Amino acid sequence: MSIFTKIITGEIPSYKVAENDDFIAFLDINPNAKGHTLVVPKKEENKIFDLSKEEYRSLMDFSYRVAKALEKTVLCKRIGMSVIGLEVPHVHVHLIPINAMADMQFQQKVKFTNEEFVSLAKSISGNFE
């Protein structure tokens, strides 16, 4: 069972920003930038291109809605999107509010307190449509 499945089942806590029957979005615990969010299919699949085309399109539709909420919440030049999965073998889309290329490089990390994560997740969630 992946660590993200444990988040989905509630075994491990997360700062949730959006959820429906098929997907969940929560803040990355070690963010590149403020608002760095992961969008995850509840069905545990390792690689994104092993999803069916329909599942892939649904994941992109859900990610689009999360990105819109991020744009409304976090001041940034744009939302960057990346799919890697080398650390956690459970499909996830990184949505990252970016101001510079360095924000997409997974090297510079930013720290937030529990209270800051809670408040940010609540704000993004409030802008999710």
Is 65 within 8 Å of 129 (Cβ atoms)? yes
Task: Say whether 24 sits in a helix, a strand or coil.
Answer: strand
| Shortest distance in whole angstroms from residue 9 CB to ligand 5GP | 13
Site string for ligand 5GP, 97-126 (x = CB under 6 A): ------------------------------
In the numeric block, the tokens 């070690």 are attached to: 30
Considering only the stretches 26-34, 57-65, 73-81, 120-128, report the one whose residues sit in contact with ligand 5GP under the rule CB under 6 A.
26-34
Residues touching ligand 5GP, count (CB under 6 A): 14
What's the min distance (Å) between Cβ of 89 and ligand 5GP? 7
- By beta-carbon proximity to ligand 5GP, the closer residue of 99 and 105 is 105
Q: Respond yes or no: is residue 92 known to be catalytic.
A: yes
CB of 68 to ligand 5GP, least distance (A): 21
> What's the per-residue H, E or C state across 40-98?
EECCCCCCHHHCCHHHHHHHHHHHHHHHHHHHHHCCCCEEEEECCCCCCCCCCEEEEEE
Handedness of CA 102, 109, 25, 35 (dihedral sign): negative
Report the interface residues with ligand 5GP, using CB under 6 A.
3, 12, 14, 26-30, 38, 84-88
Q: Which residues are catalytic?
A: 92
